[in-house]
Amino acid sequence: MTAVLIAYATGEGQTAKTAEAIAETLGDADLDVAIRNVAVEPEVDLRTYDAVVVGSPVNNRAHLPAVVEWIDANRDALVDRLSAFFQLSIAGVSESDWAVDSTREWVDDLVEQTGWTPDRVGDFGGALAYSQYGPVERQLFRVAAAFATGDTDTSRDYEYTDWDEVAAFAEEFAALVAAPADEDVPRAFAYEPPSAAASGPSQNRLRQVAVVAIVALVVAAIVAALYRRCSGADREAAVPTE
């Protein structure tokens, strides 16, 4: 039986949930699937696997360091096998040009950084777990959500993952793994390298810089407000009473 490893790291648990869903679909295709959280268990012998799926959320416009480091450490083995990559982000929910370009560029940057080119790429919506964030992080994600989804009510959590799309991604990779080398398989999730003609900062990159600058200013204002509030409370507590 063909053995497939799903290697991932997760933030608040949505990537782990997605990895489990992919594993279920691959298992239904008669593949022998193992799942590994590489942030917890990075050591793995890829010689025992015929194909690999790697997954990471996008935090602060970058994939988790544990995943990037794992890819770097196992690049040669990954290059020699059929492989796929999936990412989860809030931008993955939106169909705007800015969001589509952003999610694509994150994958392109990963490929350039690690030297590994996956055969298939899944770009999925993630989740907003406001209940798991600290005060500053909660406001940071609230600002990001205002651009991507409009879901700024921090009293509840939001899930954006399209499970039908996740299943379609896993089914296509299962077909790729099972197909003879000369057989055509669906390419809906095939990774296409960026055009060699593209050079210089894109308009999307410039928009990203502007958005990051705005978010940084908002976060700085939030931190300053929290500091003033705490300082005021300390001063009130220090006033002697008669």
pLDDT, residue 145, reads 86
- Which residue positions in the chain have pLDDT lower than 70? 196-242
CA–chain centroid gap for 13, Å, is: 11
Would the pTM count as exceeding 0.85? no
pLDDT, residue 41, reads 97
User: Looking at this protein, which amino acid is placed at residue 162?
Assistant: D
pLDDT, residue 203, reads 47
Distance CA 82, CA 150 (A): 38
Q: What is the pLDDT of residues 98-141, one digit of tens each?
A: 888 999 999 999 999 999 999 999 999 999 999 999 998 898 88
pLDDT, residue 197, reads 42
